[in-house]
Amino acid sequence: MHFKEDVVVNKFSHIYIEEEMKDNAMTKKITSFFPHASKIIIHDYRDVFNRRKQSHAHQKSSQNLILAKKKNDFLYPSSPVCQSFDYENFYYTTTMMNCIYDCEYCFLKGMYPSGNLVIFVNIEDFLHEIENRLKEHSIYLCVSYDTDMLALEPITQYAKILSEFTEKHPSLCIEIRTKGTYSQDWKNVCVSERVILAFTLSPEYVISHYEHGTPPLTKRIAMIQEAMKMGYPVRLCFDPIIAFQGYEKEYLEMVRLVKESIDLKRVKDISIGSFRISRNYLKDMRKQYPDSSVLQYPYVCDHGFYHLRDDIQKKVEHTVLDALDEVKDKIYQWENE
Ligand code: SF4
């Protein structure tokens, strides 16, 4: 698949643009990628995004784009289901809401009332707020938390902007998490020891059944090889591990392929965690996707979130953990406490 031809040009039939942002340079740049889309001027993105009774599932299948201005809440403290990798002052930021990929288990389906994609075009205000917070303390910041930022790099260059900003601020470290991208634009991201490229890896079975639209495992591995060659600190994320019939064989085959292609001793670290999700998100998602085996699985609920039954969780996580035993000192495992 060629990103520019197949993903971008035909991606959005409608673009909603906040009146205040209609002459913004980023707005103009982004809309230039979609010559065929109808442009609709709106007052506030929330009038469209937060409308009641929207179908996330329907909107994901014919996603529209909303260009807006973020006015507050530029930095959020991390969530308990995230791993901190021993960093202090762990935040995430949402320059975009929702994703062009469509992972069946994605928490965004439970978090947002709409499946449409929002891009906040005032990136300079995010940088300004990060700079202000850096005056108080160092920051570890996940910048691709509510989206897959690199998948949209051809139209925003946000990863490039944020990485160049990070390079200039020694007490800032960012993580850009991705399932890979079909474009080559990620290579413009600034190489720095404080710009971590984190790749989510899943077996082909999981990619084809649950991670709709995402690059195949071989493509992700090739991108990791290239990123390591270019000098990026690379994080491998075997997270979320999904339980399904025959998972063991699929995950072992994936680890075999990864070990065959990547020198694990050279990766920065590795994260392992099985699927978990906030109780309220899963409740909504189950209503919207009654046929999804990954969402309808009988998870157990405690401390406000659903996860695999403890014994099953241990077993599925150990399938991957044990297969990576030779690099166990690099592994961070999500703990259910
Ligand atoms: S790539 Fe990440 S953000 Fe995008 S749909 Fe999948 S899980 Fe959600």
pLDDT tens readout for residues 31-82: 999 999 999 999 999 999 998 888 877 787 789 999 999 999 999 988 766 7
Predicted confidence (pLDDT) at residue 24 exceeds the cutoff of 80? yes
**Predicted pLDDT of residue 55:** 80
Q: What residues are paired with 92 via a beta bridge?
A: 76, 142
**Predicted pLDDT of residue 134:** 96
pLDDT in tens, 92-115: 999 999 999 999 999 999 999 999
Our answer on whether the CB atom of 151 is closer than 6 Å to any ligand 1 atom is no
Cα separation, 227 vs 234, whole angstroms: 7
pLDDT band (50, 70, 90) for residue 88: confident
Number of CB atoms found within 10 A of residue 84's CB: 11
pLDDT in tens, 143-152: 998 999 999 9
Predicted confidence (pLDDT) at residue 325 exceeds the cutoff of 80? yes
Looking at ligand 1, which residue's alpha carbon is closest to its atom 7? 106
Mutational pocket test of ligand 1: of 99, 111, 208, the residue with most ligand atoms within 8 Å of the beta carbon: 99
Looking at ligand 1, which residue's alpha carbon is closest to its atom 3? 147
Between the CA of 178 and the centroid of ligand 1 the distance, in Å, is: 8
**Predicted pLDDT of residue 53:** 80
Closest CA to 207 of 254, 257, 263: 254
**Predicted pLDDT of residue 84:** 73
Our answer on whether the CB atom of 15 is closer than 6 Å to any ligand 1 atom is no
Residue 38's identity, in one-letter code, is S
Closest CA to 284 of 48, 55, 51, 49: 55
Which bin fits 261, alpha (ψ -120 to 50), beta or left (φ > 0)? alpha
Q: What angle do CA 301, 303, 307 make, to 5 degrees?
A: 40
For residue 9, the surrounding DSSP H or E stretch is none
Q: Where are the beta strands (DSSP E) in the chain?
A: 14-18, 38-42, 65-68, 76-77, 90-92, 96-97, 102-103, 117-120, 139-142, 172-178, 195-200, 211-212, 234-241, 269-274, 276-278, 300-302, 305-307, 331-333
Which atom of ligand 1 has the smallest separation from the CA of 211?
6
Between the CA of 104 and the centroid of ligand 1 the distance, in Å, is: 9
Number of CB atoms found within 10 A of residue 59's CB: 17
Predicted confidence (pLDDT) at residue 261 exceeds the cutoff of 50? yes
Average pLDDT over residues 256-284: 96
Yes or no: say if 235 and 198 are a contact pair by the CB < 8 Å rule.
Answer: yes
Predicted confidence (pLDDT) at residue 7 exceeds the cutoff of 60? no
The string of DSSP codes covering 196-209 is EEEEE---HHHHHH
pLDDT band (50, 70, 90) for residue 233: very high
Global confidence as pTM: 0.94
Our answer on whether the CB atom of 161 is closer than 6 Å to any ligand 1 atom is no
pLDDT in tens, 161-208: 999 999 999 999 999 999 999 999 999 999 999 999 999 999 999 999
Q: What is the average pLDDT score of the chain?
A: 93
Average pLDDT over residues 290-300: 96
Cα separation, 181 vs 70, whole angstroms: 26
Q: What angle do CA 147, 149, 150 make, to 5 degrees?
A: 140
Q: What residues are paired with 42 via a beta bridge?
A: 18
